[in-house]
Structure 1
Amino acid sequence: MSPVEHTSLGSTALPADLDEAAHRCLVAGFDGATTVPDALKELIDRGLGGVILFTRNIRDAAQVRRLTDELRALRPDLLVAIDNEGGGIGHLGAAGAPEVPGSYALGVVDDPNLTARCADALAAHLATLGITVSYAPVADLQHRPDNPIVRTRSFGADPEAVARHLRAWITATEARGVASCAKHFPGHGGTATDSHHGTAVDPRPYEALQADLEPFREAVAAGVPMLMSAHVVFPALDPGRPATLSRRILGDLLRHDLGFDGVLVGDALEMKAIADEYGQAAGARIALAAGADQVIIAVGDLNVTLDCRDAVLDAVRTGVLAPERVGEAARRVRRLAERYATPPTTTTVPAPAAGGAGLGLRAARRAVRSRGVPPAARGAHVVDLFPPPHPGLNWGGEDLLNEVRAVDPTATGTAVTGECADPDALVEGIVRRCGAAPLVVATCDAGLHPWQVRLRDALLDRRPDAVLVDTGLPDGGVLHSYGRGRVNLRALAEVLAGA
């Protein structure tokens, strides 16, 4: 279907400035890495506020810079954004992204200067690529054991500690001329559902939610230019709608109580908490009416973006969405673009601070914690149990076994990324291959994945001397890496191998 077929009949009746303002409120994902699709060119020409890049758009660093230059040649004030949290949450591995541990590991170390240096390395890399918006850091608290979405993406559970690290991250990113974005307001840590997959509800009373707001207050005080909302229902704040679609939460709480006047961007509309309950097009319209300044349509199919665009234009034309609200949102986006849209040239980006080489691994080493000191397990058989990362992320197949073998070539092992058809046979095979060698069993958030618990316990029944390791949050192991980024796993491997 062509862009022309998607243009609503009413959109032609809008004044040019209002049409442009409505387009400013959209951030679009797209397929392709070497060419800009025609439908995206049409959106950019009409005033599109931003694009978001994913792994599907990345080949190497030179290609990314050519792509961002081409996008900005079409419209110099176009914002180019990406998720760039560190710790394996990112899309720029093929473009040489710095390897840094995730936020939880940095929170365990609790050295804001180290957090700032890691954030600086990531932001400097973005600047060289022509990417001007980083949808990071995560401001959510991780305080619920069964929360499936925040976990090691958070700096921790303590509001004051998280606030310290947010300030360090935001300040370092801003110093690189890259816009940071604290997420997911007013907090995703109190849910037992991932809003990517369904309706997420935080059932806590109003008083209990105040701690989760403190990191966002600190982010606002630190001058963060963007916040991202959560697709979470908070009955104590607004029982009817998730935060992204709630005037009470975005208006009364965020704008009035917290005093935030930057750009509020709604999380991706294709997430099922919005798409299944409201539909993406209606979600775009309702979010903007509620007080969001931009909405993200992250899917590569631009037909979906055009449907959302048409819903917004038709809502403005019919008065369902007030022109004043769209104008206010567009002004905030323009103000953001004036400050951040033009990146430095590749030759004018200052290098990261001295000692930047190997920074991420040194940081990850500082984060490893143990309950006692397990003996070095050279020549071990390593069983790494973990759920496969989201297919949209830049996972290169790294696992603990690979990292152990890099420091101890005599190691053997097995990586298991999901429930198998015959777990008894798998356990028998592992025990047989291991023989008399030390056995290491690593799990990643086993409490969320019963198949890991069953395999771990079955292996312990056969080998009570096995060394238990946690690569997610602590879960009974003697060693904890607090994340599965490559440097987290390498730091853990060094301890296991006595390197």
Structure 2
Amino acid sequence: MTTLPGDLVEAANRCLVLGFDGTTLPGQLKQLADTGLGGVILHTRNVAGRAQLRELTDELRSLRPGLLVTVDQEGGGISHLARAGAPETPGAWALGVADDIALTSAVADSLARHLADCGVAVSFAPVADVHRVPVNPIVRTRAFGADPGHAARHVTAWVEATLAAGVAPCVKHFPGHGSTAVDSHLGMAVDARDEQVLREIDLLPFRAAVAAGVPLVMTAHVVYPALDAAAPATLSRRVVTDILRVELGFQGVVVTDALEMKAIADGVGEAAGAVAAIAAGADQLIIARPDPELWLRCRDALLDAMACGMLDPARVVDAARRVDALAERFAQPPSTDRGAGPALGDVGLLAARRAILWKGLPGPILDPFVVDLHRRPKPALEWARSDLVTLVREVMPGADGVTAVEGPVDVAGILRRAQGRPLLIATEDAELHPWQAATRTALLTGRPDALLVATGVPDAETEAADGLCAYGRGPANLRAVVEALL
């Protein structure tokens, strides 16, 4: 690494948003904070309780008052602050189904007020992607829907409510991750649609968010050949500077999705990706993996690139200036004493109830046998998931059931155990998981009277059958299902 003036080292450090392990601060993170670290991103691994979290965020700001404390807090199952008492709320899809802008605002406000109380400055929400491809494995119920105008209205409401609470919202994943068939955590996703379609559909919610004053936009690790065939959006000057900055007029902070995601790490690599992202127009780089060696490798890549002329130092200084402007506005948490309002948990359950769609229920379903088929949680995202069997038993101790996250499932054994009871078959995104669809079909062959419950995006069979659609799998969604059964 070539030695550079201290102001350029500090500017490079300002471009980093780092994840760390445990509930105490590692020494290397403290050292980086002393030389200008821009931010940290919290995960469940950093949270033991509400008081502990506030002590941690206060300590972080004591290291550097302008340090931005950030978190992924979308609602639904994506709630890294569940241990700190985060409100249980449905995800975006359920809010889109309820389609009440005031309700969406209230949910966003409840989450933002909790963040402010915990000392968190930046919420990496809402998702502004438009879910258009049935086999999309990553967006789904994180989006407000499949219609761009509908999504734009709810994105605007979320952004405005979060800003009003004194927390910085961030829309993601620009210019849209809703029409891919690959999860960019696991590989390179490609969206091959033409430019006009991208502009008419995917850009609309982002335009609305910019108009609403959103202070951060997160980029997608997705290649859009119609926009730039050579690089994913995160590393594309055409996407970040020409479209987001110039065309949409966004002047806030552009932050990348995590650089250790496979779309970057298995492509150009994290360090080269850090340089390319800043050169393309990004201002901050998320490195969520708690790996000090990776932190420094990415930071040193920026310094080396400036030293050898590959990266204009003025671009790094400009990125640091944008981060400083954001920190001046949001780094210190606002007072949470804003008068009377709805209890934080109540609005989330109310929203989940409003989203439930049911038909064909014969009346209260008492002491059912519940078969809960769902996918494994995504470890980078989901920490606030529940199972339906446990929640049903909480209100009906005589209920029974099984939970499965992969096949094969003992269908014959389930049918024997369920004799004489109502049978509920819950699935999550069955069209993506053939074992769920196969299990459901086999169970329905033996019990055609069974009721179906869809906890993700419902497929055609679930929507046509008697039962319920929850449009999400957060705890609030599943509690609303249990209430509907009663």
Hey, what does 1:410 align to over in structure 2?
398
* Residues 275 and 447 of structure 1: CA distance in aligned 2, closer, same or farther (over 3 Å): same
Between 1:168-177 and 1:76-85, the stretch displaced more is 168-177
Q: How far apart in 1 are the matches of 2:9 and 2:272?
A: 18
Q: Could you tell me the TM-score, scaled by structure 1's length?
A: 0.94
Partner SS state of residue 441, structure 1: strand
Hey, what does 1:354 align to over in structure 2?
342
1:44-89, Cα deviation, whole Å (9 max, x unpaired): 1111110000011010011111111111111000000000000011
Contact conserved, 1:60 with 1:94, CA < 8 A, in 2?
Answer: yes
Corresponding residue to 2:458 among 474, 477, 480: 474
Quote how far apart the aligned CAs of 1:391 are. 3.0
1:272-306, Cα deviation, whole Å (9 max, x unpaired): 00000111111111100111011100001121111
Q: How far apart in 2 are the matches of 1:252 and 1:231?
A: 17
Partner SS state of residue 178, structure 2: coil
Indicate whether 1:432 and 2:425 are aligned.
no
* Mapping for residues 478-489 of structure 1, pairs under 5 Å: 478-489=467-478
* Mapping for residues 165-180 of structure 1, pairs under 5 Å: 165-180=154-169
Contact conserved, 1:117 with 1:353, CA < 8 A, in 2?
Answer: no
Hey, what does 2:367 align to over in structure 1?
379
Q: How far apart in 2 are the matches of 1:428 and 1:351?
A: 56
* Mapping for residues 106-125 of structure 1, pairs under 5 Å: 106-125=95-114
Indicate whether 1:158 and 2:137 are aligned.
no
Partner SS state of residue 386, structure 2: coil
Quote how far apart the aligned CAs of 1:352 are. 6.5
* Residues 351 and 40 of structure 1: CA distance in aligned 2, closer, same or farther (over 3 Å): farther
1:176-207, Cα deviation, whole Å (9 max, x unpaired): 11110000000000100000000100011111
Indicate whether 1:264 and 2:254 are aligned.
yes
Quote how far apart the aligned CAs of 1:43 are. 1.0
Corresponding residue to 1:48 among 37, 43, 52: 37
Q: How far apart in 2 are the matches of 1:40 and 1:161?
A: 41
Hey, what does 1:127 align to over in structure 2?
116
Q: How far apart in 2 are the matches of 1:228 and 1:289?
A: 16
Indicate whether 1:187 and 2:176 are aligned.
yes
> Residue type of the partner of 1:493?
V
Quote how far apart the aligned CAs of 1:376 are. 3.1
Quote how far apart the aligned CAs of 1:468 are. 1.2
Between 1:411-420 and 1:82-91, the stretch displaced more is 411-420
Quote how far apart the aligned CAs of 1:372 are. 4.1
Q: How far apart in 2 are the matches of 1:304 and 1:374?
A: 57
Indicate whether 1:389 and 2:403 are aligned.
no
Corresponding residue to 1:448 among 432, 439, 442: 432
Contact conserved, 1:124 with 1:352, CA < 8 A, in 2?
Answer: no
Hey, what does 2:266 align to over in structure 1?
276
> Residue type of the partner of 1:431?
L
Hey, what does 2:209 align to over in structure 1?
219
Partner SS state of residue 192, structure 1: coil
Contact conserved, 2:87 with 2:348, CA < 8 A, in 1?
Answer: yes
> Residue type of the partner of 1:269?
L
Quote how far apart the aligned CAs of 1:251 are. 1.0
Contact conserved, 1:386 with 1:452, CA < 8 A, in 2?
Answer: yes
Q: How far apart in 1 are the matches of 2:275 and 2:385?
A: 39
Quote how far apart the aligned CAs of 1:392 are. 4.4
Hey, what does 1:325 align to over in structure 2?
315
Q: How far apart in 1 are the matches of 2:203 and 2:42?
A: 29
> Residue type of the partner of 2:431?
G
Q: How far apart in 2 are the matches of 1:398 and 1:113?
A: 27
Q: Could you tell me the TM-score, scaled by structure 2's length?
A: 0.96
Between 1:177-186 and 1:487-496, the stretch displaced more is 487-496
Contact conserved, 1:200 with 1:231, CA < 8 A, in 2?
Answer: yes
Q: How far apart in 1 are the matches of 2:341 and 2:411?
A: 47
Q: How far apart in 2 are the matches of 1:352 and 1:265?
A: 34
* Residues 122 and 453 of structure 1: CA distance in aligned 2, closer, same or farther (over 3 Å): same
Quote how far apart the aligned CAs of 1:329 are. 0.8
Contact conserved, 1:101 with 1:360, CA < 8 A, in 2?
Answer: yes
Quote how far apart the aligned CAs of 1:370 are. 2.2
Contact conserved, 2:78 with 2:384, CA < 8 A, in 1?
Answer: no
Indicate whether 1:207 and 2:172 are aligned.
no
Contact conserved, 2:385 with 2:475, CA < 8 A, in 1?
Answer: no
Q: How far apart in 1 are the matches of 2:157 and 2:204?
A: 15
Quote how far apart the aligned CAs of 1:349 are. 3.7
Q: How many residues align?
A: 480
Q: How far apart in 1 are the matches of 2:291 and 2:182?
A: 26
Partner SS state of residue 182, structure 2: coil
Q: How far apart in 1 are the matches of 2:420 and 2:231?
A: 57
1:436-493, Cα deviation, whole Å (9 max, x unpaired): 2111101000111111111111111111111111000112223100000111001111
Q: Which runs of 5+ in 2 are unaligned?
A: none
Indicate whether 1:290 and 2:283 are aligned.
no
Contact conserved, 2:80 with 2:384, CA < 8 A, in 1?
Answer: no
Q: How far apart in 2 are the matches of 1:356 and 1:304?
A: 38
* TM-align CA RMSD: 1.4
Indicate whether 1:461 and 2:450 are aligned.
no
Q: Which runs of 5+ in 1 are unaligned?
A: 1-7
Partner SS state of residue 358, structure 1: helix
Corresponding residue to 2:57 among 62, 68, 84: 68
Hey, what does 2:358 align to over in structure 1?
370
* Residues 46 and 352 of structure 1: CA distance in aligned 2, closer, same or farther (over 3 Å): farther
